[in-house]
Chain A
């Protein structure tokens, strides 16, 4: 047995032992409870704002006349179960949910499996990684079909068929011309032609269409919101006059505001100078470009700092999940006491 395998076995055994101990002490760990509720709805014929007949569903009270009924299961905090059990140990209103509990343990397993990569590449990490990739790919396919193809393409081409057989709640949009969607379908088909052994050039046409439309959209928005608006903001008066609470000028805030404005103007001009490659960077241009480099470095540092903050926040959220929802070591939301 090599050293790495032995390490994994030791870690696994120690961890399983700690889990067993945790499960046998205090309130235990990792359980999800649910409460069930009977839901009933009645169909009501009504009219839309435009006067067209439409159907609305109204919730009816328990025992009322309803067209559809079902049971809803909602998660409740464990303390609700503790209290219900203390009152009546045979109660069945709040019960342990096995599917949700298994889901919780699976989430904990996958979190630890991904963390295990920090030690070394291993079979648990590979399994978790493959699961994420598989589930994501399937999820995006389903989203693409049900949220794009069905409501936007098929609903425009064959609305009656879609409403009758696929999505009864579909509300066709009247002013979508069927031929414009047919054109989109043809372009989509041409795009798929790239996969054919011959005639790959056919796929270049829809690609050209996408590039053209995207470029047009982006150019307009960037010129409007970044070039013009940001340029205008930089050209505003450098001297800031900040009014205080009493209406008079707040000298301190005004000085700081003016300094901040100066920093912005110097930063914009020097960073732009750094990207001025048609002039040799020496003398005044070189000095200004050097200031620009400092600005860029500070910007990258700030971006790195914010990225670290984001990653630590995500790590903290996963640890909270492990300590709170799974291991019941902490209870910041008072769900158990």
Chain B
């Protein structure tokens, strides 16, 4: 994942094209939330790389409070 992050940052011209988010329960001030992200998609179409990242957000009781899915375009 570190190498992947460096590749994205070095590319420049990264554009966030779409975002999904689902919220299951409110988060209160002072709570600690853990975000876990994984690569959900990585494909090249029409000269651009489309990368999708899926993230889960859990509270201290390990209950899922939200999820998010981001799609970014990285120049090839």
Q: Are A and B a genuine interacting pair, yes or no?
A: no
Chain B interface residues (CB < 8 Å from chain A)? none
